[in-house]
Protein backbone atom coordinates (compact mmCIF):
# COMPACT_ATOMS: atom_id res chain seq x y z
CA UNK A 1 0.00 0.00 0.00
CA UNK A 2 1.31 3.46 -0.88
CA UNK A 3 2.39 5.78 1.91
CA UNK A 4 -0.57 7.25 3.75
CA UNK A 5 -0.86 11.01 3.25
CA UNK A 6 -2.15 13.81 5.45
CA UNK A 7 -4.88 15.98 3.93
CA UNK A 8 -5.80 19.51 4.98
CA UNK A 9 -8.69 21.59 3.73
CA UNK A 10 -6.64 23.50 1.17
CA UNK A 11 -5.58 20.17 -0.40
CA UNK A 12 -9.23 19.23 -0.78
CA UNK A 13 -10.16 22.57 -2.31
CA UNK A 14 -7.27 22.45 -4.76
CA UNK A 15 -8.08 18.91 -5.87
CA UNK A 16 -11.79 19.56 -6.18
CA UNK A 17 -11.14 22.69 -8.23
CA UNK A 18 -8.81 20.65 -10.45
CA UNK A 19 -11.64 18.30 -11.42
CA UNK A 20 -13.95 21.23 -12.16
CA UNK A 21 -16.07 21.87 -9.09
CA UNK A 22 -17.20 25.47 -8.95
CA UNK A 23 -19.85 27.88 -7.74
CA UNK A 24 -23.47 27.12 -8.57
CA UNK A 25 -23.17 23.42 -9.40
CA UNK A 26 -25.57 20.74 -8.15
CA UNK A 27 -23.50 17.71 -7.14
CA UNK A 28 -24.20 14.28 -5.70
CA UNK A 29 -21.18 13.21 -3.66
CA UNK A 30 -20.00 9.69 -2.83
CA UNK A 31 -17.09 9.69 -0.40
CA UNK A 32 -14.69 7.25 1.22
CA UNK A 33 -12.80 9.31 3.78
CA UNK A 34 -10.52 6.39 4.65
CA UNK A 35 -9.26 6.23 1.06
CA UNK A 36 -7.96 9.80 1.26
CA UNK A 37 -5.43 9.11 4.02
CA UNK A 38 -5.40 11.07 7.26
CA UNK A 39 -7.94 13.87 6.89
CA UNK A 40 -6.97 16.60 9.34
CA UNK A 41 -10.35 17.65 10.66
CA UNK A 42 -12.26 14.59 9.50
CA UNK A 43 -15.62 14.75 7.71
CA UNK A 44 -16.11 18.37 8.69
CA UNK A 45 -13.45 19.78 6.38
CA UNK A 46 -14.63 17.64 3.46
CA UNK A 47 -18.14 19.05 3.79
CA UNK A 48 -16.81 22.58 4.33
CA UNK A 49 -14.64 22.34 1.19
CA UNK A 50 -17.59 21.18 -0.93
CA UNK A 51 -19.90 23.90 0.40
CA UNK A 52 -17.24 26.60 0.00
CA UNK A 53 -16.83 25.68 -3.66
CA UNK A 54 -20.48 25.42 -4.74
CA UNK A 55 -21.56 28.42 -2.66
CA UNK A 56 -25.07 29.57 -1.88
CA UNK A 57 -26.20 29.07 -5.48
CA UNK A 58 -25.09 25.44 -5.60
CA UNK A 59 -26.32 22.24 -3.97
CA UNK A 60 -24.62 19.23 -2.38
CA UNK A 61 -26.46 15.89 -2.17
CA UNK A 62 -25.41 12.66 -0.46
CA UNK A 63 -27.10 9.28 -0.04
CA UNK A 64 -28.08 8.67 3.60
CA UNK A 65 -29.58 5.22 3.19
CA UNK A 66 -30.89 3.16 6.09
CA UNK A 67 -31.15 -0.28 4.48
CA UNK A 68 -30.96 -2.09 7.83
CA UNK A 69 -34.60 -1.01 8.04
CA UNK A 70 -35.64 -3.70 5.57
CA UNK A 71 -37.14 -7.12 6.00
CA UNK A 72 -34.42 -9.48 7.29
CA UNK A 73 -35.43 -11.84 4.49
CA UNK A 74 -33.52 -9.54 2.10
CA UNK A 75 -30.24 -10.37 3.84
CA UNK A 76 -29.69 -7.02 5.54
CA UNK A 77 -29.35 -8.75 8.93
CA UNK A 78 -27.18 -11.59 7.61
CA UNK A 79 -25.29 -11.81 10.90
CA UNK A 80 -28.43 -12.62 12.92
CA UNK A 81 -30.19 -16.02 13.18
CA UNK A 82 -33.42 -16.57 11.26
CA UNK A 83 -35.38 -17.23 14.46
CA UNK A 84 -34.86 -13.54 15.35
CA UNK A 85 -36.42 -12.21 12.17
CA UNK A 86 -39.95 -11.81 13.51
CA UNK A 87 -38.59 -9.99 16.56
CA UNK A 88 -36.69 -7.60 14.28
CA UNK A 89 -39.80 -7.00 12.17
CA UNK A 90 -41.84 -6.22 15.28
CA UNK A 91 -39.28 -4.03 17.04
CA UNK A 92 -36.94 -2.31 14.58
CA UNK A 93 -37.42 1.47 15.09
CA UNK A 94 -39.42 3.25 12.43
CA UNK A 95 -37.44 5.59 10.20
CA UNK A 96 -37.14 9.13 11.54
CA UNK A 97 -35.24 11.41 9.19
CA UNK A 98 -34.01 13.52 12.12
CA UNK A 99 -32.71 10.57 14.14
CA UNK A 100 -32.13 7.38 12.16
CA UNK A 101 -28.42 6.91 11.41
CA UNK A 102 -27.10 5.97 7.99
CA UNK A 103 -26.02 2.39 7.23
CA UNK A 104 -22.56 1.99 5.68
CA UNK A 105 -22.74 5.41 3.99
CA UNK A 106 -19.55 6.58 5.67
CA UNK A 107 -18.63 9.23 8.22
CA UNK A 108 -19.03 12.12 5.78
CA UNK A 109 -22.64 11.31 4.90
CA UNK A 110 -23.44 10.67 8.56
CA UNK A 111 -22.16 14.14 9.51
CA UNK A 112 -23.72 15.75 6.45
CA UNK A 113 -27.26 14.71 7.43
CA UNK A 114 -26.81 16.79 10.63
CA UNK A 115 -25.22 19.77 8.84
CA UNK A 116 -26.86 23.17 9.50
CA UNK A 117 -29.29 23.82 6.67
CA UNK A 118 -29.25 20.24 5.36
CA UNK A 119 -32.58 18.48 4.75
CA UNK A 120 -33.26 14.78 4.37
CA UNK A 121 -35.83 12.89 2.34
CA UNK A 122 -38.61 10.82 3.88
CA UNK A 123 -37.80 7.49 2.25
CA UNK A 124 -37.46 4.97 5.11
CA UNK A 125 -34.74 2.92 3.40
CA UNK A 126 -33.15 4.92 0.54
CA UNK A 127 -33.06 8.50 1.81
CA UNK A 128 -30.85 11.34 0.57
CA UNK A 129 -29.74 14.53 2.32
CA UNK A 130 -29.13 17.83 0.55
CA UNK A 131 -27.80 21.29 1.34
CA UNK A 132 -28.04 24.42 -0.77
CA UNK A 133 -30.22 26.24 -3.26
CA UNK A 134 -32.09 23.23 -4.65
CA UNK A 135 -32.05 21.06 -1.52
CA UNK A 136 -35.80 21.10 -0.87
CA UNK A 137 -36.65 20.50 -4.53
CA UNK A 138 -34.38 17.46 -4.60
CA UNK A 139 -35.51 15.72 -1.45
CA UNK A 140 -39.22 16.62 -1.21
CA UNK A 141 -41.82 13.94 -2.01
CA UNK A 142 -39.37 11.03 -2.25
CA UNK A 143 -41.92 8.41 -3.26
CA UNK A 144 -41.81 5.10 -1.39
CA UNK A 145 -41.90 3.03 -4.59
CA UNK A 146 -39.79 5.36 -6.76
CA UNK A 147 -36.48 4.86 -4.97
CA UNK A 148 -34.09 6.02 -7.72
CA UNK A 149 -36.51 6.98 -10.50
CA UNK A 150 -37.92 10.09 -12.09
CA UNK A 151 -39.43 11.63 -8.94
CA UNK A 152 -36.50 10.66 -6.72
CA UNK A 153 -33.59 12.95 -5.80
CA UNK A 154 -31.58 11.17 -8.52
CA UNK A 155 -34.18 11.89 -11.17
CA UNK A 156 -34.55 15.50 -10.06
CA UNK A 157 -30.78 16.01 -10.15
CA UNK A 158 -30.87 14.83 -13.78
CA UNK A 159 -33.47 17.53 -14.46
CA UNK A 160 -31.02 20.10 -13.04
CA UNK A 161 -28.19 18.77 -15.24
CA UNK A 162 -26.20 18.00 -12.11
CA UNK A 163 -22.85 16.34 -11.50
CA UNK A 164 -21.46 13.24 -9.80
CA UNK A 165 -18.38 13.34 -7.60
CA UNK A 166 -16.68 10.06 -6.69
CA UNK A 167 -14.28 11.05 -3.93
CA UNK A 168 -12.28 7.90 -3.25
CA UNK A 169 -15.11 5.61 -4.33
CA UNK A 170 -15.72 3.59 -7.47
CA UNK A 171 -18.59 3.28 -9.91
CA UNK A 172 -20.12 0.59 -7.70
CA UNK A 173 -21.12 3.48 -5.40
CA UNK A 174 -22.40 5.67 -8.24
CA UNK A 175 -26.08 5.78 -7.25
CA UNK A 176 -27.02 7.79 -10.34
CA UNK A 177 -26.65 4.68 -12.50
CA UNK A 178 -29.80 3.38 -10.79
CA UNK A 179 -31.74 5.97 -12.79
CA UNK A 180 -30.53 4.12 -15.88
CA UNK A 181 -31.95 0.92 -14.34
CA UNK A 182 -35.33 2.64 -14.25
CA UNK A 183 -35.18 4.02 -17.80
CA UNK A 184 -33.60 1.07 -19.62
CA UNK A 185 -35.47 -1.87 -21.11
CA UNK A 186 -33.97 -5.32 -20.47
CA UNK A 187 -35.34 -8.81 -20.19
CA UNK A 188 -34.62 -9.44 -16.50
CA UNK A 189 -36.14 -6.14 -15.34
CA UNK A 190 -38.77 -6.75 -12.68
CA UNK A 191 -40.46 -5.35 -9.63
CA UNK A 192 -40.11 -6.66 -6.08
CA UNK A 193 -41.75 -6.17 -2.73
CA UNK A 194 -39.83 -4.47 0.08
CA UNK A 195 -40.92 -4.08 3.70
CA UNK A 196 -39.75 -1.70 6.41
CA UNK A 197 -40.73 0.07 9.62
CA UNK A 198 -42.12 3.56 9.18
CA UNK A 199 -44.47 6.04 10.81
CA UNK A 200 -47.90 6.00 9.18
CA UNK A 201 -50.93 7.80 10.56
CA UNK A 202 -48.85 8.67 13.61
CA UNK A 203 -47.97 5.09 14.49
CA UNK A 204 -45.13 2.68 13.80
CA UNK A 205 -46.20 0.25 11.09
CA UNK A 206 -44.52 -2.53 9.14
CA UNK A 207 -45.20 -1.43 5.57
CA UNK A 208 -44.81 -3.44 2.36
CA UNK A 209 -44.39 -1.65 -0.96
CA UNK A 210 -43.42 -2.49 -4.55
CA UNK A 211 -40.36 -1.08 -6.27
CA UNK A 212 -37.92 -1.87 -9.08
CA UNK A 213 -35.39 -4.58 -8.30
CA UNK A 214 -31.84 -3.22 -8.62
CA UNK A 215 -28.48 -4.54 -7.45
CA UNK A 216 -25.69 -2.59 -9.18
CA UNK A 217 -23.41 -5.57 -9.67
CA UNK A 218 -22.44 -4.42 -13.19
CA UNK A 219 -21.83 -0.76 -12.30
CA UNK A 220 -18.04 -1.14 -12.28
CA UNK A 221 -18.14 -2.60 -15.81
CA UNK A 222 -20.38 0.28 -16.89
CA UNK A 223 -17.87 2.75 -15.45
CA UNK A 224 -14.93 1.12 -17.22
CA UNK A 225 -16.67 1.31 -20.60
CA UNK A 226 -17.98 4.82 -19.91
CA UNK A 227 -14.45 6.13 -19.44
CA UNK A 228 -13.43 4.62 -22.79
CA UNK A 229 -15.89 6.94 -24.52
CA UNK A 230 -16.01 9.99 -22.25
CA UNK A 231 -13.12 12.06 -20.99
CA UNK A 232 -14.06 12.75 -17.38
CA UNK A 233 -12.18 14.96 -14.96
CA UNK A 234 -9.81 13.05 -12.66
CA UNK A 235 -7.41 14.02 -9.89
CA UNK A 236 -5.62 12.59 -6.92
CA UNK A 237 -6.30 13.93 -3.44
CA UNK A 238 -4.04 12.30 -0.92
CA UNK A 239 -4.28 8.59 -1.62
CA UNK A 240 -7.71 8.79 -3.22
CA UNK A 241 -8.71 8.79 -6.87
CA UNK A 242 -11.27 11.48 -7.63
CA UNK A 243 -13.69 11.42 -10.56
CA UNK A 244 -16.09 14.18 -11.59
CA UNK A 245 -18.68 13.82 -14.35
CA UNK A 246 -21.96 15.15 -15.67
CA UNK A 247 -24.74 13.00 -14.33
CA UNK A 248 -26.64 13.07 -17.63
CA UNK A 249 -23.66 11.63 -19.49
CA UNK A 250 -23.19 8.63 -17.19
CA UNK A 251 -26.95 7.95 -16.97
CA UNK A 252 -27.53 8.19 -20.74
CA UNK A 253 -24.50 6.00 -21.42
CA UNK A 254 -25.61 3.44 -18.82
CA UNK A 255 -29.06 3.12 -20.39
CA UNK A 256 -27.52 2.06 -23.70
CA UNK A 257 -24.98 -0.20 -21.96
CA UNK A 258 -27.65 -1.96 -19.91
CA UNK A 259 -29.92 -2.51 -22.91
CA UNK A 260 -27.01 -3.99 -24.83
CA UNK A 261 -25.41 -6.14 -22.14
CA UNK A 262 -27.97 -7.17 -19.54
CA UNK A 263 -30.03 -10.29 -20.10
208-256: pLDDT as tens digits = 999 999 889 999 999 999 999 999 999 999 999 999 999 999 999 999 9
* Cα separation of the two ends of the chain: 38
In a domain, 182, yes or no: yes
Average pLDDT, the chain: 96
Q: What is the DSSP letter of 134?
A: T
Domain of residue 202, residue span: 6-261
Residue 2: which pLDDT band, with cuts at 50, 70 and 90?
A: low
Sheet holding 233-237, edge to edge: 119-120, 128-132, 59-63, 26-31, 163-167, 240-246, 233-237
Say how many C-beta atoms besides its own lie within 10 A of residue 14's C-beta. 12
Alpha-carbon distance 98 to 120, whole Å?
A: 8
For residue 106, pLDDT beyond 60? yes
C-alpha 118, offset from chain centre: 15
Instruction: Tell whether 1 is covered by a domain.
Output: no
pTM: 0.95
CA–CA distance, 45 with 123 (Å, rounded to integer): 28
Question: Residue 106 domain-assigned?
Answer: yes
Is residue 49 domain-resident?
A: yes
The number of distinct structural domains making up the chain is 1
Amino acid sequence: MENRKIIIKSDLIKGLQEVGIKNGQNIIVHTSMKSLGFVCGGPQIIIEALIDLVGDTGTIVMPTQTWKNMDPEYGVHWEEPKEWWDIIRDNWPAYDKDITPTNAMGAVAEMFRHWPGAVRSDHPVRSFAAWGKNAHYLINNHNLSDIFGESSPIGKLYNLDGYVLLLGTGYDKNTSIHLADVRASYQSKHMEKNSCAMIKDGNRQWVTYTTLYVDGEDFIDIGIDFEKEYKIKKAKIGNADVRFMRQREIVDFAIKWIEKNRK
